[in-house]
Amino acid sequence: MTLHKEGKATILIAAGGTLAVYYILRQFLPEQELLHLIWLIVSIVIMVTVLQFFRKPNRTVTQNSNQILAPADGKVVVIEETVETEYFNGPRRQISIFMSPVNVHINFNPISGIVKYFKYHPGKFLVAWHPKSSTDNERSTIVVQHSNGKEVLFRQVAGAMARRLCWYVSEGQKVEQGSEFGFIKFGSRIDVYLPLDAKILCNLEDKTVGSQTVIAEW
């Protein structure tokens, strides 16, 4: 396990901030040993939290052209038939995965194929489980076309704590199933829109592991 590149600045800021406060306490309140100890403990908790959030686990991806893999670690919070209005303008099967702050926040391509569509939308920061978060929050939409001609849309959705979306794809790019396509900082969700004939293999409340859990097949 290593640390993700998106965490470098945040880790440096957290380390610098905690050290700066500790230095100020030592300089201006030298007799307050208990306060120094409390802040030292708080600093350790802060650093452990930040480091675990940006962890990058070593995973072996087993690619299968008939399967759709979970794009993120988290919990399945939505499985329903809905109308997707940004790209397909028609009915699709939606699977949404909520990522809590303790989950790995790397995002993975659920299938291999060609990126046919990408768009970033600035927006609000409603809590990730809010019904309108998929349409009103800051988000990015990616559509990948599989070699069989079918398309899967997956959308990064920022939450109340997630204030930065990161993505590494562009239209026309070839992507591999299980490879990284992005990262979301501090709590969020990913919505996946599948063809109606896709067989759903997950259930509500299921825990998923990004690039490992099979959520559907065709």
Beta pairing class for 188-194 and 151-158:
antiparallel
CB 139 within 8 A of CB 113: no
Domain range 67-217, CATH architecture? Distorted Sandwich (2.70)
pLDDT at 123 over 70: no
Q: Give the model confidence (pLDDT) of 145-201 as tens digits.
A: 999 999 999 999 986 554 578 999 999 999 999 999 999 876 688 999 999 999 999
Rg (CA), the chain: 20
Domains of the chain, by residue range, sit at 2-56, 67-217
Options 96, 133, 188, 211, the catalytic residue: 188
Q: What is the pTM of this model?
A: 0.85
Q: Give the model confidence (pLDDT) of 59-84 as tens digits.
A: 999 999 999 999 999 999 999 999 99
Structure tokens at 35: 């306060």
Nearest-angstrom CA–CA distance, 103 and 99: 6
- Active site annotation includes 65: no
